[in-house]
Chain A
Amino acid sequence: MSDVKKFLYLNRRAPYGTIYALESLEVVLIGAAFEQDVSLAFVDDGVFQLTKGQNTDGIGMKNFSPTFRALGDYDVQKLFVERESLEERGLSEDDLIEVVYEDEDDDWEEKPAIRVISRAEMADVMADADVVLSF
């Protein structure tokens, strides 16, 4: 495919309670086959999607958080998390799962895909995207 666009998947909602987070991840996985420049952003309650130790036994839903850890295998290398959203919810980077990707430009070294950035930087990430899919 000749024309590569910057796709930004904007995740704003908690992982459970509504289906948006799960169906967002389904788009990301399918979209990975199109070899576009893909970023994921997590703001507001969306930051809960990446928290460690999720247990959905009590609600009859599949815990899909392990799928995020596989995103590196799909060549998804940029997961931006908004610092203010974390702080407003009493969370820090330590509460988040680890997602890594192999950097082909650096001898396939494993590098963290999650980058905690400020709200102002998040605005720049959004402005820089060609296509924003908001969930």
Chain B
Amino acid sequence: MKIVVSHDEVVLREQEGDAFLLHVPSGRYFGLNRSGLVIWQAVLDGRDPLEALAERWPDVPAERRQADADALITALVGAGLAQAVEDRPGS
């Protein structure tokens, strides 16, 4: 399973240490905390969010990182900010 973002539909803005997402089709706004921003940027870069979290917070237990990533990705997909797509050979 791969998580993808439509760049035309979601706008990120960082301000004063906070991060915000705009879902353009609905006009809804969302906030991201620090770990959420790391996960979001990893998704944008096509990287594994777990690896990005491990680089940023190596001392945090792997189970906690996994739970954070799962929770955020579920929320992002639920809000229409990202889509889960099947990995295809060669893609």
Q: Do A and B bind each other?
A: no
